[in-house]
Structure formats: structure tokens, C-alpha cells
Amino acid sequence: MGENIIGAEYSEIMQKSYIDYAMSVIIARALPDVRDGLKPVQRRTLYDMYELGIRYDRPYRKCARIVGDTMGKYHPHGDSSIYDALVVMAQDFKKGQALVDGHGNFGSIEGDGAAAMRYTEARLQKITQVAFLADLDKDVVDFGPNFDETEKEPVVLPVRIPNLLVNGSDGIAVGMVTSIPTHNLSEVIDAVKALIKNNKLTNADLMKYIKGPDFPTGGIVVNQDELLRIYETGQGKIRLRGRVEVEQVKGGRERLVITEIPYTMIGANIGKFLNEVAALVETRKTNDIVDISNQSSKGGIRIVLELRRGADVEKLKNLLYKKTRLQDTFGVNMLAVADGRPETLSLRKILDYNIDFQFELTTRKYKNLLEKEEKKSEIQEGLIRACDIIDLIIEILRGSRSRDQVKECLVHGVTEGIRFKTEKSRRMAAKLNFTEPQANAILDMRLYKLIGLEIEVLMQEHEETLKNIASYKDILNNYDSMAKVIIKELDALKKEFGRPRRTAIENAEEIVLEETKMEELPVVFLMDRFGYVRSMEESVYEHNREAADAESKYVLHCLNTDRICIFTDSGKVHLLKMQDVPFGKFRAKGTPVDNLCNYNSSEENFIGVFSMNDIRETVLTFVTKQAMVKQVEGKEFDVSKRTTAATKLQDGDQLLTVYAASENAHIVLASENGYFLCFPVSEIPMKKKTAVGVRGMKLGEDDAVAEVYWVEKGADKEIKEASYKDKTVSLAKLRVASRDTKGTHIRL
């Protein structure tokens, strides 16, 4: 068989493949469906628990069993994604309504992870069984094949509440992200009921019922006036604050107690908040806090700040809101899959989709119930009619030779082959016209059903069935009747599962923090060879001068309002505010400089450290490994950016040193191959910080500058360098040459 080669444009194939991949991630993984508010992994996990019979009133089952069954049947994307989804659905501090009842360690609000799935157990919550899975047996939703077409799974769960709003959602797809806050179940149900009754309600009208987000962590939403625009556009930012209470302590002191936190602080951010508060004390932005402790437990959040006597409580509150994550923003992007495509939805649209879905579920449910009742009525009518002519039926049974022969007589009036006592009985049998289901029911009927009381019960059941049929037809054919049914179900859910609002909604004034101007004080900055930095008072330094100089690579006398310039071999300069440097005792270890600025010790090395006040009026000399030199005015580095380029480097080059040399100084460049070149610093031209510079020394092949020395005028300084095999070189006796020459070779 010959090959059939089809020509195609590579870019078109890549584009189509990427679009297919992106849509798969968007629809089948990352975004929730607007109808049930669930992502596929959540939907499949809940359905699998339902199939396994792990109900709220039954024993817990191992999570490993649930995860394995879900992965094997419905979600072949790894056990971690399934277990993570299961854990989140069990965490009541993340969900407005937890959907899974977890037993064991399912993590904590402070960011502790859940135990391994082999240790934890779970079962469905009652609300999940009642409002999410109750009508799956009534053909209310479509089922589709699983990944290998060996099982059937629901395309969407028959959720009776707007779960997209109640539990919110977050997820990152390809080129898009969803972030929907949680809301109060009772308020959302009230809004749905109001919209069912009056389809002309606007977003503003609906917000009379839904005041705003209701986060499980409580807190305060402080931009109430902006919520309407957020709910109309489906996008915006919600400003959140934690709740702070003031408690009186013995001795006339007070303490601040944080009892509710912003939803965004869940997890590791609580620890970061504690570090931020500690940093405020270390950097002397406040002296009012004397101790901080996290006393949170299963009973709730309790973070205690002990204050000094006479502390300004209101000012400290404002400082915490302004400088820490006690006030934060929650980015809203109400993106969900609607009608098979991603769409950013307003509040009204989400509720519209939900109401349409509720009517669809109710229609399919009552069509299914009506069909069952009609079949039931048909059988009941047949049995009642059979009781009236029971003698004839018994005669047919006794005169027949097989079940099929009796059935043919009951359905079609066929009497051939049946022995009758009288011709009249034969004529009556020929007129029988039961339906096939009625005939089967008659043949299966037990004799005790012929008792008088049993016949009366049958008559009553038939009357009840007829009432149900009339009721179901009314519901299916009348909008108001169906609306009443939906509203009744919502009222029942609200009564059983509703809870008071936890998040307060208000308008708060923008915090204006009047920071007192820091008093300028002389301090000493210390940095050791490992990059640990600290600062101390001059008196403390003088008292420990010998030890401080021995332990530190850089010792700078500066002001506490100054900035430190850290030059690195990658050609960058990082600016560090002195007020951010830990201030303390001499024996304090210090803090890695990586934690205080953008310096990255794994990628670069510091080669020069100066205070901004020292270099602002001076000139800095730069030397690179490839012997490129230049001078730059120090004031060029007085910028607001925390990191900026100190010089431009050629490929493969490194900055070797930065030095504030005097005009009369000489520079000595020593190469790896033993060449020494001494020339006046005045020959180095002035350049901008973004320039490469000029060549300072002619280097041979495979040679590079290894060391740079500085000789001030009149100095006779000898340098002993191990890399030159202990050769002692008197720099002052070197012949002074010109820049860009080869220099003197020293035999090693």
C-alpha cells in the first residue's frame, strides 16, 4: 500500500493543536460549569462517592479508596489532583458549604497540609446528598461515556442551589483565570426566589438580597459602593479587612486581638502576617507592640498583640491595615463555562443560568415521575377491572395450558385451545382487551389481593395515583406551579442548611497613615562574608570594635535614614534601606541580605558595598574580568528602584571590583598569567552607568584580570597573593605605564 503524504503548514498545525489543548484545559479541567458550580474533578469525585454508597448517614471510607476508584473510572489525571480536590471540598474555612465530611487531618487554616490519603477518611455531607445528588435516579441530567467508554458519568450534577456563588471557585486555565468569592446560602436562595417571581430584576435589585460576598473566615468588606460594578461586569477587586478587637489587660494596658482574617490570608499568609508585624517592630515603625502570639485553635482565629501602656490603638490599627496583609484585596473574575464555552458572567446572568437549569431539572424530574405514575395507573386500572371479573379470569387460567395462552386471551381475546365451562364465558373472554403490562400484573397477582380490604386499598392507591398524575401535569404545563415547587424546595434547603452572614459589608474611609518622620541617628552597618547584615548604635560598635571588624567584611558608618548600595559581579546594584536592616545587639546573628532586597546569593556575589551618602558626591571606578574600566559619578545610583544596572557587561564578562579611588591614585591590574599594569586612575574616562567602558589592559589569549590593587600617591605597599605562588610584588616600584598596554610580566 503506497504512502499518502499530505502537505501542511507547520504553524497551522501547531496553532490548531495548541487551541485544542487550551480548550481541553479550559472546559475539562480548570473552569467550573455555571450550572452546578463544579469542576470536572469535583463532579467526578462526588459522583463516585455517591456510587460507592458513602452517604452522610453511613460509615466513613478511606480517602485512598475514593481517590483510586475515581481515578480508575472517571478521572485519569493522577491521584494528587483528585485528593487535593477532595480535601478542599472538606475544608469549611475555604468553602461556604463544605461538600465532604472529612474524618482525620484535613489541614488547617494556617496552611498545614492534609495527611496522606491512606490515613484520612471521608463521606458525603448531608447537603451534598440532598441538594447535589438526590435526583440522579430520575433521569434529570444527561450521562456520557467516561474516558475509556466502560462507564457512564453525569455531564453535570443536578444541583438545586447556585453553587457557583455559594462555594465560589478559583482556577487557572490557558490564558484565563477564574476567581469567584463565596456567598451566603440563605441570601442566594432569597435572590433566586425573587428572580423567579419577577424576571425584570436588575443587578442592583438582586443586591437587596445578596449584600455581597460572605467568606467563611468572616472579616469586613470595606468597599461596598464598588460591589454593584463588580457584580455587573463580573470583574473587580474587593477590599477585605480582618476584624480587630481591643481587650483591657491588668495594669491599665491594652491588647489587640484579631478574631477574623481576610479570606486571602488563609494558609501560609498567616505566618507571613506575623513576620510583617515583627518587621514593623524591628524596623522601628512602631514601638507600641511588645509581644505577638498566635493563639488560634479549632475554635477560631485569635492572634494577640500585647501593647505597651499608653499605646495609640487607633493609629496602630491603621498601621496594621496599611503595612500588613490584615487588609488585602480579593480579585474577582466570575468566569465559568456556560453553554459549552467560557464566559465572564454578571450576578444576574449566573442566577439566570441557574434558574433555567432548575426548570430543566424539574421538567425532566416530573416527566419521569409522570411516566411512572401513568404506568402505575394503567396497572392499577387493570387489577381493579380484573377483580370485577375474577371468576372469568380464574376460569381462563384453569382452562389454559400455558402462561402465554392466558396472556393472549387477556390481551387479544384469543380463546382457541382454552376450555370454558359455558359458551357465555367464551364470549365474554373473547371481548377482553387488557394491555400487556396489565395482563402481566394480573398473572403475577397473588390470591390475597382478592380480600375485600385489599381491593379497597387498591382503589385508594389508584385515586392517589390519579391525583399525582393531575398534579404532575399541572406542574409541567403551568409555569407558576413549577415555580412554586422549585421555591418550596429552596425554602426547605434554606431552613435546614442556611446560616447567618459571617462577613460584614460596609464603606470604610481610605486609611491615611501619618508616619512620623524618623529621627536621624548615626548607626553602623555590618555585613559579613556570608551576606548577613545588621546595624547597631555607634556606641555599641565602639565598645566591640575589634570583634566587629574581625567578623565583618564591610563596616560602614552612616545614618539610619541612609541607603546601602550593594554592587554584584553580575553588573547590578541593589539598594537597601537602612531602616529595613535589623537593628539590635552586637551578638545578634543578623539577617541574610537576600531577604531584604533583590540580591540573589545563588546567582551573584557582592563585590562592593557603600552607603549612598558616601558615594553621592564621589566617583566610582569599575573594573571587569576582561579588563574593561570606567568611572561613574556616584549620584547616578541615587534612584528609587531597588535594583538597577551598575554597568553593561560583554558576553562572558564579570564585574570584578568597584572602588572609590582618589584623583591621584594609581590602579594596578594583575592578570592570571602574571602581567601587572600600573597606570593613573585619571586615564580612565568618565562614563554613564549603562556604558561598557574602555579597555584598561591588553590581555593575551586565555588571560583575564585576576586582582585589582590601588596605590595612593606616596604609598609603598607590598601585596602578597597566594595565587602568584607567594610571590611578593611591591606595587609602588612597578613602572607606571599607560592604560591599554600589556604591562610588566612577573616570573612566578
Beta bridge partners of 622: 630, 658
Interatomic CA distance for residues 292 and 277, integer angstroms: 8
Find all residues with CB under 8 Å of 12, minimum gap 6, and list them: none
For every residue of 27-63, DSSP letters joined together read IIIIS-BTTT---HHHHHHHHHHHHTT--TTS--EEH
Q: Residue 189's closest CA among 490, 590, 440?
A: 490
Given the C-alpha cell 556606641, which residue does it identify?
539
Specify the long-range contacts of residues 82-86, CB closer than 8 Å, at least 24 apart.
82/41, 82/44, 82/45, 83/114, 83/117, 85/39, 85/41, 85/42, 85/45, 86/45, 86/122
Interatomic CA distance for residues 634 and 621, integer angstroms: 10
Q: Residue 201's closest CA among 344, 362, 346, 33?
A: 346
Burial of 334: CB neighbours in 10 Å, binned 0-12, 13-18, 19+: buried
Contact 651, 643 (CB under 8 A): no
Interatomic CA distance for residues 39 and 347, integer angstroms: 19
Rg of the chain, C-alpha, whole Å: 41
Interatomic CA distance for residues 567 and 308, integer angstroms: 40
> Is 119 among the catalytic positions?
yes
Three-state DSSP class for residue 191: helix
Interatomic CA distance for residues 242 and 18, integer angstroms: 43
Beta strands in 169-316 (DSSP E): 169-172, 177-180, 220-221, 235-241, 243-248, 254-260, 289-294, 303-307
Q: Choosing from 18, 21, 119, 479, which is the catalytic residue?
A: 119
Q: How many CA atoms lie within 13 A of 293 on its CB side?
A: 7
Q: How far is residue 564 CA from its own chain's centroid?
A: 37
Q: Find the angle CA(464)-CA(466)-CA(468) to the nearest 5 degrees.
A: 70
Instruction: Check residue 267 and give left, alpha or beta (phi > 0: left; psi -120 to 50: alpha).
Output: left
Residues recognised as catalytic: 119
